[in-house]
């Protein structure tokens, strides 16, 4: 993503119209996201097809789709819609059309399966957020702040994009917790609001800081590339085991590097107190340095209302985001854990879907 961003911004900086710039932005950020989502979605379908627990009869199809059908759907970008269709169909069948009186254990298993399907979609949505929505928003901000052309509608659109990014993380956290039997669900109400504010403020301020660095020089994307490489290298050093294929694992680690460029996540489900402190020290450094560098190297902007507003959003968002982070993890984060599934019902096996969710990124 970062190397592509360098070339993209270099091309964008030579464009003449805001409309032309935004058209280019939409084009250059869509393909990497759609390809990555298709690769992971197709692989997960294939993993589920070979899972003896999910496909005990060894059928050559899954959800009535053959291997060739899966390839066709994902090549034409229909894989995600297929997942939504299967989730809605199964959910409707369980809630409205089932005449079978489930036992407590059966109902728990059926609901868990539905949440696993929803979490697969939430994970793919997370990829879309950071491979498409965030880079696109970053480029749009670079265009707007660099050219000084923007309508009220565009401001509202970008504000909604920030909120949508933050909400996708809240939704992912809630969905993930409901699909992992050993983790207590994320409480609704105040804890959810504080967590949303934490993500909204930290991501907004960080993206705005990156935007100021890009305005200072489009070649600041070299620094973004270095940050991406650091995140990817750290993920590789943790030896993640999310994918069933070694090559796909490398792609997964590269994608995680992109995600870590913008927001903190628990990469391997371990104690991350030290890692989180280091990450947010760096986050604070970037958010302080970006406005100061722009003010020092472009002094004509020091009295510019636009620059002062953005700087205020960066500093205010950083402080409020970190305060919400501390509030959530000190006072509102559920500390107890449920017993492991194998302790409850003596089961030592888990499906490919459960294993996939368990080994995926944990919210931070």
pLDDT at residue 342, rounded to an integer: 42
Question: Given the structure tokens 């496909």, which residue do they identify?
Answer: 55
Pairing of strands 65-66, 362-363: unpaired
pLDDT at residue 71, rounded to an integer: 81
Whether the Cβ atoms of residue 131 and residue 33 lie closer than 8 Å to each other: yes
Give the DSSP H or E segment for 110: helix 104-128
pLDDT at residue 347, rounded to an integer: 41
DSSP bridge pairs for 337: 183
> For every one of its 364 residues, what pLDDT tens digit does the chain have, with 9 covering 90 and above?
555 554 444 444 444 444 554 555 555 555 567 788 888 888 888 877 776 555 555 565 566 677 788 888 888 878 888 888 888 888 887 777 666 666 767 677 777 788 888 888 888 888 888 988 898 899 888 888 777 667 788 888 889 999 999 999 998 888 888 877 777 777 788 989 999 999 999 999 999 999 999 988 888 889 999 999 999 999 999 888 888 888 889 999 999 999 999 999 888 777 788 889 999 999 999 999 999 998 888 887 767 777 888 899 999 999 999 999 999 999 887 765 554 444 334 344 566 667 777 777 777 7
pLDDT at residue 20, rounded to an integer: 52
DSSP conformation class of 268: S
Cα gap 201→57, rounded to integer Å: 49
Q: How far is CA 337 from CA 177, 263, 274, 275, 355, in A?
A: 11, 25, 21, 22, 18
Record the tokens describing residue 293, joined without a space. 């560098």
> Smallest Cα–Cα separation from 121: which of 67, 71, 82, 160?
82
DSSP conformation class of 335: -
Question: Given the structure tokens 């628990």, which residue do they identify?
Answer: 266
DSSP bridge pairs for 183: 337
Ordered DSSP codes for 301-331: GTT-HHHHHHHHHHHHHHHHHHHHHHHIIII
């Amino acid at each position: 993503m970062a190397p592509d961003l360098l070339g993209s911004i270099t091309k964008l900086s030579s464009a003449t119209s805001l409309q032309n710039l935004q058209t280019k932005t939409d084009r250059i950020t869509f393909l990497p996201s759609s390809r990555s989502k298709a690769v992971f979605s197709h692989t997960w379908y294939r993993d589920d097809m070979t899972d003896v627990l999910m496909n005990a009869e060894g059928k050559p199809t899954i959800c009535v789709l053959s291997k060739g059908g899966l390839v066709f759907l994902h090549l034409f970008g229909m894989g995600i819609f297929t997942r939504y269709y299967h989730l809605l169909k199964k959910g409707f069948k369980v809630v409205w059309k089932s005449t079978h009186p489930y036992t407590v254990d059966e109902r728990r298993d059926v609901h868990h399966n539905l949440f696993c399907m929803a979490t697969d979609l939430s994970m793919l949505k997370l990829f879309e957020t950071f491979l498409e929505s965030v880079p696109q928003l970053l480029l749009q901000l670079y265009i707007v702040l660099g050219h000084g052309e923007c309508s009220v509608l565009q401001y509202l659109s970008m504000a909604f994009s920030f909120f949508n990014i933050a909400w996708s993380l809240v939704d992912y956290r809630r969905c993930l917790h409901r699909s992992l039997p050993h983790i207590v669900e994320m409480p609704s109400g105040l804890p959810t609001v504080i967590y949303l504010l934490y993500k909204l403020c930290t991501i907004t301020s960080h993206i705005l800081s990156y935007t100021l660095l890009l305005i200072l020089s489009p070649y600041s994307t070299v620094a973004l590339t270095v940050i991406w490489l650091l995140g990817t290298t750290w993920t590789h050093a943790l030896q993640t085991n999310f994918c069933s294929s070694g090559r796909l694992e490398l792609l997964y680690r590269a994608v995680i590097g992109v995600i870590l460029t913008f927001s903190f996540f628990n990469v391997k489900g371990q104690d991350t107190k030290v890692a989180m402190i280091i990450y947010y020290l760096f986050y604070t450094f970037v958010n302080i340095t970006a406005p100061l560098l722009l003010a020092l190297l472009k002094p004509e902007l020091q009295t510019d209302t636009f620059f002062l507003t953005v700087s205020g959003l960066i500093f205010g968002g950083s402080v409020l985001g970190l305060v919400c982070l501390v509030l959530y993890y000190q006072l509102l984060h559920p500390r107890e854990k449920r017993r492991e599934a194998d302790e409850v019902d003596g089961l030592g096996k888990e499906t490919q879907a459960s294993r996939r969710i368990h080994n995926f990124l944990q919210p931070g």
